[in-house]
Amino acid sequence: MLNFNKPCYIGKEETAIQEAIANQKLSGNGPFGLRCTNWLEDYLGCEKAILTPSCTGALEMTALLIETNPGDEIIMPSYTFVSTANAFALRGANIRFVDVEPETMNISPAAVERAVTDKTKAITVVHYAGIGCDMDAIMEIADKNNLWVIEDAAQALTSTYNGKQLGTIGHFSTFSFHETKNITCGEGGALVINHTASVERAEILQEKGTNRKQFAKGMVDKYSWRDVGSSYLLNELSAAYLWVQLEHAGQIMDDRLKTWRKYYDGLKSIETISLPHVPDECTHNAHMFYIKTEHRHELMNHLKDNGIMAVSHYVPLHSSHAGKQFGKFAGEDIFTTAESDKIVRLPLYYGIEEKDVDHVISRIKHFFKL
């Protein structure tokens, strides 16, 4: 069976992990953690980056940083992973799910604008498949209504919008290093802070609500409990694995983009399917390649019979049990459900062989009798 995903592995990760062990510093914010955050800050050009155990943890931190309170409304797409909503539901917020734009599956700015009320506190956007949302329109709405903007950039490291790195446009952003992501350490994430006044508090929240980070810098003579928080720290063994991947980020992206383009060129002649759309103002990182078809289940079964694992994606959150409990759809669901029901994601990972990609393309063409 051709796997849908294989965790990225460069071949130098063991050496880095052995170095971390030799350093005798395995908890968070060690030497490898510092290398990773420095890389992120330099590459992204952001105010501050901190490593977290997951993108979920980073999202939970944003909910704390914007002081989410019961009754606050957070606008986000329904077509996203549960963590995007969970982070704010945990703080008692009401989730306002809105529709997506069918070409990209990204949040619709027009739907966002219609969903704003006097209780709205923030807009959380999701850069689906590593392709940027219309951030100019989103930031204009936010500025007009004095709202926070959080970029869920879990899939979008190294992608850009109008020349800017995704994750550096909103007030906060979150990245994922889960094993399904382009760059991974198994489980891990990062919080990027583009709001200067929130940097110190983010460091306190990360360290269980203490000012331990300031103590480590010699800024205070002892540390104490200062705020709410939790253990939002990535351990050094994971950071060591991650560091190797970040060092080879260009190599990883080039390899994935080559596969993405091969899929696109090989499938663009099939008139009865839709391929990913990349707006002119965006560059992407080849996080995934998907097609849309009215015959999703039949195609997935056909590919499985031919030794290929292809998968669907999110079930829109507003239709889930918890989604109905903690939020509601604002406006009309024109595209979210209809378009998400068509998505088939194809195998794409670092090091996938060209013959395997050719096999997937040929089996899809065979299904559509081409």
Annotate 75-131 with DSSP letters as a single string: EEESSS-HHHHHHHHTTTPEEEEE-EETTTTEE-HHHHHHH--TTEEEEEEE-GGG-
Which helix (H) or strand (E) covers residue 320, if one does? none
Residues 166 and 233 in one domain: yes
Domain that holds residue 289: 249-367
Residues 224 and 97 in one domain: yes
pLDDT attached to residue 147: 99
Cβ-count burial 135-154 (b if 16+ within 10 Å, e if not): beebbebbeeeebbbbbbbb
Model confidence band, residue 366 (pLDDT cutoffs 50, 70, 90): very high
Residues 18 and 73 in one domain: yes
What pTM value is reported for the model? 0.97
pLDDT attached to residue 137: 98
Residue 8 lies in a domain: no
Residues 176 and 276 in one domain: no
Number of structural domains the chain divides into: 2
**Chosen domain end from 200, 216, 247:** 247
CA distances from 7 to 16, 256, 293, 348 (A): 17, 13, 27, 11
Q: Model confidence over 13-48: pLDDT tens digits?
A: 999 999 999 999 999 999 999 999 999 999 999 999
Q: Model confidence over 82-131: pLDDT tens digits?
A: 999 999 999 999 999 999 999 999 999 999 999 999 999 999 999 999 99
In this structure, the number of other CB atoms found within 10 A of the CB of residue 121 comes to: 21
Q: Model confidence over 122-165: pLDDT tens digits?
A: 999 999 999 999 999 999 999 999 999 999 999 999 999 999 99
CATH number assigned to the domain comprising residue 306: 3.90.1150.10
Residue 3 lies in a domain: no
Q: Which of 48, 119, 121, 181 is catalytic?
A: 181
State the SS3 of 170-216.
Answer: CCEEEEECECCCCCCCECCEEEEECCHHHHHHHHHHHECCECHHHHH
Q: Model confidence over 255-306: pLDDT tens digits?
A: 999 999 999 999 999 999 999 999 999 999 999 999 999 999 999 999 999 9
- Region 340-349: mean pLDDT is 98
Provide the 3-class DSSP secondary structure of residue 146: coil
Measured distance CA(69)–CA(60) in Å, rounded: 13
Residue 2 lies in a domain: no
Active site residue 181: yes
pLDDT attached to residue 217: 82
In this structure, the number of other CB atoms found within 10 A of the CB of residue 350 comes to: 23
* 221 pLDDT higher than 90: no
- Region 241-256: mean pLDDT is 98
Residues 102 and 38 in one domain: yes
Nearest to 206 by CA among 12, 28, 19: 28
**Chosen domain end from 247, 272, 288:** 247
* 197 pLDDT higher than 90: yes
Residue 351 lies in a domain: yes
Residues 211 and 267 in one domain: no
Cβ-count burial 211-241 (b if 16+ within 10 Å, e if not): bbbbeeeeeeeebeebeebbebbbbbbbbbb
Residues 276 and 237 in one domain: no
Residues 66 and 18 in one domain: yes
Residue 4 lies in a domain: no
CATH number assigned to the domain comprising residue 231: 3.40.640.10
